Amino acid sequence: MQEDKILRVALDWSVDEIDPPRSFGGWNTGRVVQQTHESLFEDDFDSAPANFNDPTDVIPRLAVECEISEDFRTYVFKIRDGVNFHDGAPLNAEAVVINYERLCCPDSPFFSPVAADLNRSGVGLIDRVRALDEMTVELSLSEPNPEFLRYMTQEDAPGSQSLISPEAIRKYGPDECADRAPGTGPFQFYRRFETAYGSAVELRRNEDYWYGCPQIEAIQFLPFPDRDDRVRALIEGRVDFAYSLEGADLDSLSAQGFNVPEFAPPYLWYLVFNQRDPQISDLRVRHAIAHAIDRQALCADLFPGAAMPAVSAIPPGAPSYDEFAPDFYSYDPELAIKLLADAGFSDGLVLKVEAAQAGSAQLDPSAIYKRLAQDLERVGIQLEITFHKDWVTYCNQWREGAPVGVAFTEMSWGMSSDLWLAQVLHGSNQSPVGFNAGYNNDTGVDVLLDRARNTIEASSRRSLYREADSLLMKHLPILPLFTSRRGMFAYSQRVMGLTTVNQCWHDFRGVRLK
């Protein structure tokens, strides 16, 4: 293998187990499995957005076409011919059925409760999966879901609808495929190896890839939890591509010849309010916190030129994102003090909060929380902060729901599918069943989200999601703080053939190295 044919990618944390439907490691895992595994439909990574905030197009990948019923309850996929998994198993209707039975058929010997749990937002409406012939599969849903294909593209949702070899499922069992779950992608898992900063992953190219053999021979995904270490590795040429550079001197990197694109990824850094907490359950307290935080200054001081204040629970790059959405919470410390007094906290209050020390797309939680603590202290709110050192552990604990006594937690997330809004805020998805980690339970919001999910006409569906978003921002179960605009990634001039789309990961199958 030629050293100059290896693409080296700096990540901000180690990669979770490689078994896409069963992993919950954040976008870093998705950035790896995008290269190794494929779904029936995927994002179009070859077409730049026509408008800045446009979501990605969704196109066939392992399917060549999909026939959708008028009521959006039946999806019939024609499977691509001539595709094999990395272990040689053929892609056919049986392989697709086994993969979906793993996610949604409790009576199947291939069913994985963990994979089903992580994927419930994407496949929870599937009533039946069956092969119509050797290369045709029908998925029947219990209700209309016009966003079904778009959600399928989410490589780390968590979980994924990416397909793994049916032979691996048979051989190891539905819950024992970690790092031995062959996909169909342009690269295949080769090894894990330890570095000074944690576990790294090496992929080797799939010589028999159905779309054509990639020019890159291998990809190494290397963890650098500290942003400055990632920047140094990029400048010194030890990596060719680096994620999570917000807060670095991006203009300097650009002046040195690195590509630092500006784009609209579906990303939010937000606080999750624990509505079972007696203090936070008072809406006036949540509104006070929102008015006490200077989001403009936070972005300008910590992430100059990279972050933009968020005013919506719908992230950029999602179909229903509204760049003109109103800001309900201008920086107004005096109003915050009044709201706290009205809530009976004229003498202030102390809030226990939790955060990750670092992790996938976390940027700099310590600096962010320090800034929040300073802003909140000015209005009489003291923060007692607990930081969790391990990102994956934090994610799993966070998903269990906010503990008793914890006022709020933080998360960085978002999707290019509007279904994400229900995944993290619908009452039926309250932790630990789903990812509604603050226990939001709002009937009005749930009704709107349910109607939006089932609405076939796109503009009407978008209006419903925006109406739900407006209600959410008024009731404030989460407080979006900012989104990334520049610096989510940068790469050297060695990397050729990369198209920037509004997504939080990339497809390297067409990339070449100069």
What is the predicted pLDDT for the residue at 158?
83
Angle made by CA atoms 311, 159, 385, in degrees to the nearest 5: 50
Q: Indicate if the pLDDT at residue 309 is higher than 90.
A: yes
Across the range 438-467, mean pLDDT stands at 98
What is the predicted pLDDT for the residue at 157?
73
Across the range 161-170, mean pLDDT stands at 98
What's 248's DSSP letter? S
Burial class of residue 124 (count of CB atoms within 10 Å of its CB; 0-12, 13-18, 19+):
middle
pLDDT tens digits, one per residue of 180-221: 999 999 999 999 999 999 899 999 999 999 999 999 999 999
**pLDDT interval class at 386 (50, 70, 90):** very high
Q: Indicate if the pLDDT at residue 347 is higher than 90.
A: yes
Closest CA to 316 of 497, 484, 493: 484
At residue 466, φ and ψ (nearest 5 deg) are: -70, -35
Q: Indicate if the pLDDT at residue 420 is higher than 90.
A: yes
Closest CA to 245 of 190, 162, 306, 186: 306
What is the predicted pLDDT for the residue at 149?
97
What is the predicted pLDDT for the residue at 222?
97
Paired tokens of 511: 């990339």
Q: Indicate if the pLDDT at residue 156 is higher than 90.
A: no
Full set of structural domains in the chain with CATH? 6-223+488-513 (3.40.190.10), 268-484 (3.10.105.10)
What is the predicted pLDDT for the residue at 462?
98
- By percentage, how much of the chain surpasses pLDDT 90? 93
Which amino acid appears at position 285 of this protein? Answer: V
The pairing of strands 489-491 and 241-243 is antiparallel
Closest CA to 213 of 510, 7, 514: 510
pLDDT tens digits, one per residue of 272-283: 999 999 999 999
pTM of the model: 0.95
Paired tokens of 39: 């779904």
Give the integer Cα–Cα distance in Å for 389 and 356.
6
Q: Indicate if the pLDDT at residue 25 is higher than 90.
A: no
Tell me the pLDDT of the chain averaged across its residues. 96
Give the integer Cα–Cα distance in Å for 202 and 192.
6
**pLDDT interval class at 243 (50, 70, 90):** very high
What is the predicted pLDDT for the residue at 392?
84
Across the range 149-172, mean pLDDT stands at 93
What is the predicted pLDDT for the residue at 60?
98
Give the integer Cα–Cα distance in Å for 168 and 180.
7
Give the integer Cα–Cα distance in Å for 306 and 270.
16
What is the predicted pLDDT for the residue at 323?
95
What is the predicted pLDDT for the residue at 118?
92
Across the range 140-147, mean pLDDT stands at 97
Cβ distance 94 to 131 under 8 Å? yes
Q: Determine how many CB atoms are found less than 10 A away from the CB of residue 170.
A: 13
- By percentage, how much of the chain surpasses pLDDT 70? 100
Angle made by CA atoms 30, 33, 39, in degrees to the nearest 5: 100
Which sign, positive or negative, has the C-alpha torsion 113, 118, 124, 130?
A: negative
Give the integer Cα–Cα distance in Å for 68 and 54.
24
Paired tokens of 340: 């706290």
pLDDT tens digits, one per residue of 30-84: 999 999 999 999 999 999 999 999 999 999 999 999 999 999 999 999 999 999 9
Cβ distance 79 to 136 under 8 Å? yes
Give the integer Cα–Cα distance in Å for 359 and 9.
16
Closest CA to 231 of 301, 306, 295, 316: 306
Q: Indicate if the pLDDT at residue 9 is higher than 90.
A: yes
pLDDT tens digits, one per residue of 105-123: 999 999 999 999 999 999 9
Give the integer Cα–Cα distance in Å for 373 and 192.
39
Q: Determine how many CB atoms are found less than 10 A away from the CB of residue 467.
A: 17
Closest CA to 28 of 361, 316, 490, 356: 361
**pLDDT interval class at 316 (50, 70, 90):** very high
Q: Determine how many CB atoms are found less than 10 A away from the CB of residue 262.
A: 14
Across the range 488-501, mean pLDDT stands at 97
Give the integer Cα–Cα distance in Å for 436 and 338.
30
Longest dimension (CA), the chain: 71
Paired tokens of 476: 């404030």
What's 57's DSSP letter? P
Q: Which residues contact 244 (CB under 8 A, 6 or more apart)?
A: 11, 12, 227, 230, 361, 362, 363, 487, 488, 489
What DSSP element (H or E) covers 275?
Answer: none
What is the predicted pLDDT for the residue at 16?
85
What is the predicted pLDDT for the residue at 360?
87
